[in-house]
Amino acid sequence: MQVITLSPFDLGIAAVLILALAGLSLRLRLGVERQLLTSAARSTIQLFLIGLVLKVLFDNVHLLWVALMAGVMISVAGREVMVRQKRRFIGWWGFGVGTLSMFISSFTVTVMALILVIGTKPWYAPQYAIPLLGMILGNTMNGISLGLDRLTQDATQKRPIIESRLALGQSWQRAISDSRREAIRVGLIPIVNAMSAAGIVSLPGMMTGQILAGTPPVEAVKYQILVMFLIAGGTGFGTVVAVSFAARRLFDERQRLRLDRLSRPGN
């Protein structure tokens, strides 16, 4: 099946939708027209740049370049996790918790899939490694962001309850257990919803892309099932690790709740 090439004019037609939406925002005084246009321009530039980078990687397959690309992706995802928090940890912890958690979960799950499931030669072949890591990383980033935000917000709102439990002799693990459990649950909601609706409500992106590229539908479905299970594993383990690290950071060595380790709302 021949791949249909899109021209700049074709992309321009789709861009009209963004312009129309920005105009509607201006008309209704929603105040998001600038963000819409900026995000659209940013995504266009970023996607074209990553396309050029991937072309170079595909032509020059080397573990060092693939590892460097993966490191940049994880670092940027760690920053995105940090800036999405209403109350984030002060200092390197604000960046480190999300980044370390995604490295432990997403990177490990991706390497396992490349070696044990897909079995490419070499195992770090960029046409498989980079897209797979990107899909797992993007979803894990969302889960960790939601989980951490819920944990810090919950700890702030329930400070009297947590401190009362500590005063009654409970350990920090038990005092924060309800908030930690709820944070992990919230972090898993997006991937649970995505798996529940896949194939009925929505056709996931990877499957749709493969079908449009000419891959037999059944084969595209197999890859999509694999990717969704990998995403669920990466998101789940990443959220558990991030929330656990963050929960421990909320208490000092004397098991006192330390909300001063969090930034003020809006900072």
Residues 240 and 219 grouped into a single domain: yes
Same domain for 122 and 158, yes or no, is: yes
Kindly state whether residues 117 and 147 are assigned to the same domain: yes
Compute how many other C-beta atoms are within 10 angstroms of the C-beta atom of residue 107. 21
252/212 same-domain check: yes
Q: Is 251 helix (H, G, I), strand (E, B) or coil?
A: strand
178: amino acid identity, one letter: D
Domain match, 28 and 113 both = no
Q: Give the pLDDT of residue 154.
A: 92
Report if residue 153 sits inside a domain: yes
- Mean pLDDT per block of 10 residues along the chain (267 residues) reads 75 92 90 90 90 86 89 89 84 86 89 88 87 89 92 91 90 91 93 84 72 79 87 91 92 87 72
**pLDDT, tens digit, for every residue of 66-113?**
899 899 999 988 888 888 788 888 888 888 888 999 888 888 899 999
89, 97 Cβ separation under 8 angstroms: yes
> Where among 37, 60, 83 does a domain terminate?
60
Give me the domain span that covers residue 79: 61-261
pLDDT of residue 6: 79
129/211 same-domain check = yes
Tell me, what's the pLDDT at 267? 58
18 and 145 both lie in a single domain: no
85 & 48 share domain: no
The total of structural domains in the chain comes to 2
Q: Which helix (H) or strand (E) holds 109?
A: helix 108-112
Looking at the structure, do residues 241 and 202 belong to the same domain, yes or no? yes
In a domain, 219, yes or no: yes
Residue 19: inside a domain: yes
* Beta bridge partner(s), residue 262: 89
Question: Is 266 a member of any domain?
Answer: no
Q: Is residue 146 part of a domain?
A: yes
The structure's pTM equals 0.82
Residue 267: inside a domain: no
Residue 99 lies in a domain: yes
Task: Look up residue 105 and give its two tokens.
Answer: 């979960």
Q: In the numeric block, which tokens belong to residue 65? A: 């370049």
Measured between its terminal Cα atoms, the distance across the chain in Å is 52
CA 208 to the chain's CA centroid: 20
Looking at residue 235, what is its pLDDT?
Answer: 92
The Cα-based distances of 69 to 27, 99, 130 in angstroms read 42, 15, 8
Q: Are 226 and 144 part of one and the same domain? A: yes
Instruction: Give yes or no: residues 40 and 24 share one domain.
Output: yes
- pLDDT of 183 reads 94
Of 44, 60, 76, the position where a domain reaches its end is 60
Give long-range contacts, CB 8 A cutoff, 24+ apart: 70-73. 70/107, 70/129, 70/130, 70/133, 73/130, 73/133, 73/134, 73/137
97 lies in some domain: yes
26/77 same-domain check: no
* Cα dihedral across residues 20, 24, 27, 33: positive or negative: negative
Last residue in a domain, options 41, 60, 79 = 60
